[in-house]
Each structure stands twice: as structure tokens, then as C-alpha cells.
């Protein structure tokens, strides 16, 4: 396991860490990760810290070529599985 993956596995979800994981897994040509957690305060999936639970991902990757929308989304979810296991509650995905 490399240092970036180790950091991902032990740190709370942040936009920067999600970006590292997505860049490593999907080699995107375009990527934007936005933490929208603060907008979900009080929501059942939020946490007391106000971050790390709700993210928006806009991503383009050559690995999406020829894949259905569902398959592209699955690639993103699979790349972020460590964070989901840590409590990431919602990911809005826009594949380009």
C-alpha cells in the first residue's frame, strides 16, 4: 500500500483526499470534488464536524469511454469505497 492510499485509509474524508483517490484510480482529464456537507447539517447522514459526509464529484476519464452511465458511476464508487466505509454518506456524481 502506498503512502497516499495509507493516508486515505486513516484520514476523515475530505475533498482533497477524495481527489487523490480518484486521480490514482481513474486518471481523469477533468476533476472537481466539492464538499457539500455543511449544506446538510441536521440531515441523518451528517456529522458534528460539518464535513466529510456529502460530496459532489464532476469527473471525465478515458476509462469511461464506451461505458454506460451506471458503469461509470460504479468506477467512481469503487474508487471511493474506503471513504464510504468511514462514513461518507452521499456522493453526487456527474460524469463528463
> Is the pLDDT confidence value at 23 over 90?
yes
Rounded to an integer, what distance in angstroms lies between the CA atom of residue 20 and that of residue 17?
Answer: 5
Rounded to an integer, what distance in angstroms lies between the CA atom of residue 10 and that of residue 39?
Answer: 25
- Give pLDDT, residue 54: 85
Rounded to an integer, what distance in angstroms lies between the CA atom of residue 58 and that of residue 28?
Answer: 10
Nearest to 14 by CA among 33, 28, 32: 33
> Is the pLDDT confidence value at 1 over 60?
no
Whole-model pTM over 0.85:
no
Rounded to an integer, what distance in angstroms lies between the CA atom of residue 16 and that of residue 26?
Answer: 15
Q: Which residue has the cell 463528463?
A: 96
Kindly list the structural domains of the chain, giving each domain's residue range(s) and its CATH number in brackets, ordered by start: 3-95 (3.30.300.90)
Q: Each residue of 57-94: pLDDT tens digit? A: 999 999 999 999 999 999 999 999 998 888 788 899 99
- Give pLDDT, residue 41: 53
Q: Each residue of 24-64: pLDDT tens digit? A: 999 999 999 998 886 645 554 444 554 568 899 999 999 99
Amino acid at each position: 500500500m502506498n503512502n497516499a492510499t495509507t493516508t486515505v485509509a486513516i484520514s476523515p474524508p475530505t475533498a482533497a483526499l477524495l481527489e487523490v483517490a480518484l486521480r490514482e484510480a481513474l486518471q481523469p482529464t477533468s476533476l472537481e470534488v466539492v464538499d457539500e456537507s455543511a449544506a446538510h447539517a441536521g440531515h441523518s447522514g451528517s456529522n458534528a464536524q460539518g464535513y466529510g459526509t456529502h460530496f459532489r464529484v464532476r469527473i471525465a476519464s478515458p476509462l469511461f469511454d464506451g461505458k454506460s452511465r451506471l458503469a461509470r458511476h460504479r468506477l467512481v464508487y469503487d474508487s471511493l469505497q474506503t471513504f464510504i466505509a468511514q462514513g461518507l454518506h452521499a456522493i453526487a456524481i456527474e460524469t463528463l
